[in-house]
Amino acid sequence: MAATSLLLTPGPAAAAAATATFTKAASWGSGFEGRFTITNGGTTPLNGWEIALDMPSGAAISSSWDALMSRNGQRYVFKNVGWNGNLAPGATVNFGFIGTPGSAEPSNCTLNGNPCGDAQVPVPGKPGAPTVSGVTGDSISLSWRASSGTVTGYRVYEGTAVRATGSGTTATIGSLGSCETHTYTVKAYNSAGESPASEPVTGSTAGCTGGVPGKVGAVTASDVTSTSATLKWPAASGTVTGYRVYQGGTLKATVNATTATVSGLTACTTHSFTVRAYNDSGEGPASDPASVVTGGCDTGPLPKHFLTGYWHNFVNPAVEMKLGATPNEYDLIAVAFAEATSTPGRLDFKLDPALATAVGGYTEAEFKSDIAALHSRGKKVILSVGGELGRVQVGSGQAAAAFADSAYALMQEYGFDGVDIDLENGLNATYMAQALRQLRAKAGSDLIITMAPQTIDMQSTGMGYFQLALSIKDILTVVNMQYYNSGSMLGCDKNAAYSQGTVNFMTALACIQLENGLRPDQVALGLPAGAGAAGGGVVQPSMVNQALTCLARGTNCGSFVPPRTYPGIRGAMTWSINWDASHNWNFSKTVKPHLATLP
């Protein structure tokens, strides 16, 4: 994700008391997503905040979340919404907005009336498609059209490795082997960061007359099962008789096409393959390694593909219902939400009296009986921690222990099968990982751990939520990212910002998790059950099915096609069971049957 970051610091009167960081989290031609992180760096609580900024003439901010927005001409003011206004020392809070056009930059910012400083320049635009302008036996020269905006220089990438850096729009990559094939992209950069990557270009060095073939290009995997994987690659340059597929130094397959299926693999393990072209003169250079994670992982006490739904322990415009009324389409029910206590990390849970009244009476004993009844129907019930208003904080070893102890006590008291981490107001990945591992040690291997991060939390592995997911990958059940209330976001191709409410949005953002460390059985799609359940990103359930088919089989995709298939994709989540009831169970009745058709 290319992002513009700006630290907004109040003036001397509030020195070290609070700071606000502005990030242009995503940018496309017609708009951008802006995001603020406010941090209380002082030693006393911050009671309320207000950020004001100017937008250029012709620019506008169309919507915001987690803040109250008002406008006077081109001056916009954002105030806390009550629950996120009081920040303890060291605490942070976020809010975001959608602005237009993509090139617009805020200026004249203030935080609680103190000047914030000037906005920095945005990241450059995407460079034009590079072309191969010349080759020798050991080099490839490229040229491309200049990026828009302020440009310090350009970096030429081969995969994730920088192969050349310069200030002009040409570069020569040297020290290559003869008759090798290489694929490059170009990114512009300045003080704010890097632009989106250019379109890729592939070139081959000279020296292909006679001799061994050139280096094989990027190898990709598809149709991965627990014991096999199909590999594909572009044709090598030069005279080619066939190709040999290696796992380490072991020959796994010999073919005369540019695809091969490798079998006899071990389930739920990572395998690395290289491919070499050969002819009568010998083998060419090995391709770059391709990593494959086989299926067959232990999916725990839940089905291979399953549907998750949240149940409301509160009253809102959706249908109020007792937990036991959850229909059979749901495999996993997340009770929303556990409550914070005065002890950091410690959880509590009680039935909401207003909810009990709304459903005609509901006691703790009846609630526990409903959980037992769901268990008898083969369902699992977990306790969700957080939510939009949740203030659970796990920021120390002591808080981690309190979290684990209290979560386990609630599991024992009510019969919960695990926990869902839905902390929308920030988390400490290190201490939350400690808490979940301590809970696993208490509860055993059948403990269910799910997560429900926002899209911004999973844009890269540097995000706290993503760090947490990867650090507990060995005990994590599934990540149900919320594909809603987010505006447009970059996908794993980093070439476009996809609009929420589309198949492309779901598949391109799921691809980020799938290509950056999480197993397919640890990734599911979280969507609203219908109108009213979210402020944006509501889709027809049939579109959820389309996205799942695209990810699992590589068919029925939108314009974005994932780089490989993920037959083990885990399923779907919806907010919420109550909102599904409000829409005649359209979500669960549409999505649950489709899960049975996945590989």
Domain boundary among 205, 232, 255: 205
In a domain, 120, yes or no: no
Rounded Cα distance between 507 and 530, Å, is 20
Q: What is the DSSP string of 512-526?
A: HHHTTT--GGGEEEE
Residue whose token pair is 């994709």: 569
How many domains does the chain divide into? 4
Q: How far is CA 14 from CA 17, 23, 118, 274, 535, in A?
A: 5, 22, 18, 58, 35
Task: Pick the range with the lowest mean pLDDT from 54-63, 127-136, 549-558.
Answer: 54-63
Same domain membership, residue 512 and residue 422? yes
Bridge partners for 187 per DSSP: 155
**pLDDT for position 237:** 87
Same domain membership, residue 441 and residue 354? yes
* Cβ-contact 208, 241 below 8 angstroms: no
In a domain, 465, yes or no: yes
Rounded Cα distance between 290 and 278, Å, is 19
Residues 240-260 have pLDDT tens digits of: 999 999 998 999 999 999 999
Task: Pick the range with the lowest mean pLDDT from 113-117, 215-219, 363-367.
Answer: 113-117
**Which CATH number goes with the domain that contains 94?**
2.60.40.290
Same domain membership, residue 557 and residue 501? yes
Rounded Cα distance between 530 and 521, Å, is 25
* Cβ-contact 54, 74 below 8 angstroms: yes
Percentage of the chain surpassing pLDDT 70? 93
Rounded average pLDDT over 532-556: 93
Same domain membership, residue 91 and residue 228? no
**pLDDT for position 458:** 92
Domain boundary among 265, 294, 323: 294
pTM: 0.63
Residues 387-415 have pLDDT tens digits of: 665 578 898 999 999 999 999 999 999 99
DSSP helix/strand/coil, 149: coil
Same domain membership, residue 229 and residue 96? no
Residues 31-85 have pLDDT tens digits of: 788 888 787 777 788 888 888 888 888 888 887 877 888 888 888 999 988 778 8
Same domain membership, residue 134 and residue 111? no
- Domain extent, residue 49, equals 18-115
Strand 220-222 to 201-204 pairing: unpaired
**pLDDT for position 425:** 67
**Which CATH number goes with the domain that contains 175?**
2.60.40.10
**pLDDT for position 10:** 38
Task: Give the single-character DSSP code of 248.
Answer: T
In a domain, 560, yes or no: yes
**Which CATH number goes with the domain that contains 405?**
3.20.20.80
In a domain, 85, yes or no: yes
Residues 498-528 have pLDDT tens digits of: 889 999 999 999 999 998 989 999 999 999 9
Residues 166-221 have pLDDT tens digits of: 889 999 999 888 788 889 999 988 755 678 889 999 888 887 766 788 889 888 88
**pLDDT for position 9:** 38
Catalytically active residues, by annotation: 424
Same domain membership, residue 468 and residue 319? yes
Residue whose token pair is 């975001």: 96
Domain boundary among 115, 148, 168: 115
**pLDDT for position 335:** 97
Same domain membership, residue 175 and residue 225? no
In a domain, 215, yes or no: no
Q: How far is CA 250 from CA 164, 202, 253, 273, in A?
A: 34, 29, 9, 10
Same domain membership, residue 509 and residue 459? yes
In a domain, 13, yes or no: no
Same domain membership, residue 311 and residue 290? no
Residues 574-595 have pLDDT tens digits of: 999 999 999 999 999 999 999 9
Which one has a higher pLDDT value, 115 or 161? 161
Residue 463: what are its φ and ψ, rounded to 5°? -75, 145
Q: What is the DSSP string of 553-578?
A: HS-S--S---SS--TT--EEEEE-HH
In a domain, 11, yes or no: no
| pLDDT surpasses 50 at 15 | no
| pLDDT surpasses 70 at 28 | no
Same domain membership, residue 503 and residue 546? yes
Same domain membership, residue 190 and residue 59? no
DSSP E strand boundaries for 313-378: 332-340, 347-348
Torsion sign across C-alpha atoms 433, 437, 439, 443: positive
In a domain, 479, yes or no: yes
